[in-house]
A and B are shown apart, each in its own frame.
Chain A
Amino acid sequence: MNGGFAGRILHIDLSQRRFETEELAPDGAEKFIGGFGLTVKLASEIIVPGTDPLSPDNPIVFGAGPLVGTSLPATSRVYAVTKLPQSNAIGWCGGGGVTFGCLMKNAGYDHIVIRGRADRPVFIKIIDDDIDIVDAQSLWGMGVAQTCSALWEMVGRPAGIISIGQAGENLVSFSMAYIDRLSTIGRGGFGAVMRSKNLKAIMVRGSRGIQVANRKRYRELHNTMVTNIREYPYLKEWQHLGLLKSLPFTPEGMDYNKIRKRRIACVSCPIGCKEVIEIPDGEFMGSLIHSSSIVNLLTPTVYGFTDYREAIQCVSLLDEYGLDMFEFFGVMEFAKDLYAQGRLPGDAFDEEIRLESFTAMEKWARKISLREGFGNILADGFEGIIKQFGEECRPIAPYTVKGMLPYTGPRGPLPWNLFGTMELGQALDPRGPHVGAGGSPTYFARRPLTVFPRHLQRMGVPDEAINRILGTKASGEEYLEIGRLLKYSHRWFAILGSLGICARAQINRFYNAALCAELYESVTGLETDLDDLRKRADRAWTLLWMANLREGMTREKNPLPDKWFQEPGFNDYLTDASLSRDEVEKMVEDYFDEQGWNRETGIPDQKRLKELGL
């Protein structure tokens, strides 16, 4: 490999306590771009259909794309693909890589494949070619940040770390892992998958370096991008506020300038959305919190928290346990409603469920994470609760997709009633309800259609497809085909993820698909034009879809949630009219059609598979 790729895959078998390295095959890398695409390919080849997500047979495949480790802006993304316990799907898990992706590549690995189960808690230590499977008994019982601190104390810094907290240790169905204690990775139970391998953490550091194939061209492209970024009029505002810039309100009493201690960026990111926050006064005065963003820290205000300091402290506790915040509050709300309707035993709670109370939520987070008392049932999520107390509880549950809570919607944690690509994507992402892959201009409410084509061209949507997606009918009525547009959201996500570029809107605005092809070619030396890149991204996404069809994830087994079509339901992005099931089912069919899959079943036919080289 000329550049970009580290050139090796590290295979670790925890059962056998063995490891080996494999040279990265250039043709496979080229065919699936790298990063997200190649991780999907490697995982789909080794996951045996029907594998129990929590069995030793379920592998975890990590990957970072060929741009990761270079100085191109915000190229740090890390992906993992495995079977996720909550959805039982083969899911992509992704996170801002902070330092992990860069250091993994510098250690000489594009991918790490972990199989088996250690006979006791361990962490994996990777320093270049020095690989150790180390006893982690001393880390067991620690939270996410505590684990990172202990490992940094043990091995020094810099070191990239992916770790789980107590929720993962106790196989909580909605436990996640964290990168460098800051980025979440693996909504859907990835923390439990790591625990099922007795794997508390992975730590990596490297010194081999990454080279680019065409330094001259790389510098030209890089310098142009950096100039554009420096000239971006909102750069300083984003750098100062982080994601708070996109929050439409500021909680009462919160002075962001007072609580913000430091902005943290993933490697090479010009914006930085992570932060260190210090609570300035009150009960938690002096509490120093490392977080994926201030916006996440303030989420409990949606559930009725009135003291921003308690909201911040609450989310920091959930992060420390390694709990999916949205799923946690969804499960608590479900349990509260069941109790109110007399569906739970009278002695179920020794602590009242009050979603707006820090004291109550702190206790329930602990009970769930440690599986204490009734927390042991709640730890199994919506499906676990229904299994325990009967199907008659299901109508009371929040609507779910693949057993998980879609967090954007008219009744979701993020109350939002316009139906764009991210909303439809919650039903069509193979991993389960996640919005990360469904980005498009519909991310913002009520944008005029006139601004769409420029954005779609940037995402690499061909002109002939733009005409199918939006326009004005002979009657003068405007149309926007969300299903067709979603295909290109998924493709754009696959391009960005496979190269290693952050998918956040405030970052990917500096990229376009044609530039991505040029960057890929200059970094790797692999001849690539825009059409090549588009086709390879479609190949990767279709392979992920196929792998899940193989697991039985058919259209009929994953119906759209009924509650999307009950008042208050979703509304049409353009007209604001209520959407019917038929209208959304048509969007699903349009999506299948645009992908070139069977319009009714969503199954790609042989012709399409042949076109994609699958």
Chain B
Amino acid sequence: MGKFQITTNPENCTGCLRCQLACSEHNTKRFNPSAARIQVIISDAECTITFAEDCTGCGVCADNCLYDALQKIAKEEA
């Protein structure tokens, strides 16, 4: 299991997909948003952020978020 709990702040999300790009490259060595273990969908003004069951909590998605839509919290702190 990963070290982090990922918290989301969907109102800050812009749909830039940097989280999905980073996650997929980290896990598959290819930038492939469809293979990411985090999925972001923005529909009209609403944003939904979901995590796949195989998300390990590695935190690479939060590391790559530039809009404060994702934060990682060390599990012992959570």
Q: B residues bordering A, Cβ < 8 Å?
A: 11, 14-18, 21-22, 24-25, 28-35, 41-45, 47, 64, 66-67
Give the distance in Å from the alpha carbon of A239 to the alpha carbon of B44 in the complex: 19
In the complex with contacts A265-B15, A270-B66, A272-B14, A69-B31 CB distance below 8 A: yes
Interface segment out of the listed A12-20, A208-216, A298-306, A459-467: A208-216
CB interface residues, A 80-116, toward B, < 8 Å: 99, 102-103, 106
Distance in Å from the Cβ of A208 to the closest Cβ of chain B?
A: 7
What are 5 inter-chain pairs, A to B, with CB distance below 8 A? Answer: A207-B35, A209-B28, A239-B66, A262-B14, A264-B15
Given A70-B21, A268-B17, 8 new contacts (CB under 8 A): A69-B21, A102-B33, A106-B32, A157-B43, A211-B30, A215-B29, A239-B67, A270-B16
Does the CB pair A269–B16 fall under 8 Å?
yes
Does the CB pair A71–B31 fall under 8 Å?
yes
Does the CB pair A206–B34 fall under 8 Å?
yes
Q: Please give, as numbers and ranges, the residues of chain A lying within 8 Å of B67 by CB-CB distance.
A: 239, 263, 265, 272
Give the distance in Å from the alpha carbon of A103 to the alpha carbon of B17 in the complex: 11
What 4 A-B pairs are tightest by C-beta distance, nearest first? A209-B30, A209-B32, A265-B14, A265-B16
Give the distance in Å from the alpha carbon of A119 to the alpha carbon of B11 in the complex: 45
Q: A residues bordering B, Cβ < 8 Å?
A: 69-71, 99, 102-103, 106, 152, 157-158, 205-212, 215, 226, 229-230, 235, 239, 261-270, 272, 276, 278, 288, 290
Closest to B40 in A: A158
Closest to A274 in B: B14
Does the CB pair A267–B24 fall under 8 Å?
no
Which one, B14, B30, B33, B66, contacts A264 given CB within 8 A? Answer: B14
In the complex with contacts A264-B14, A264-B42, A210-B33 CB distance below 8 A: no
Q: Please give, as numbers and ranges, the residues of chain A lying within 8 Å of B32 by CB-CB distance.
A: 106, 207-210
Which one, A71, A262, A264, contacts B22 given CB within 8 A? Answer: A71
Q: Please give, as numbers and ranges, the residues of chain B lying within 8 Å of A157 by CB-CB distance.
A: 41, 43
Does the CB pair B45–A261 fall under 8 Å?
yes
Q: Please give, as numbers and ranges, the residues of chain B lying within 8 Å of A102 by CB-CB distance.
A: 17, 33
Does the CB pair A288–B45 fall under 8 Å?
yes
Give the distance in Å from the alpha carbon of A159 to the alpha carbon of B43 in the complex: 12
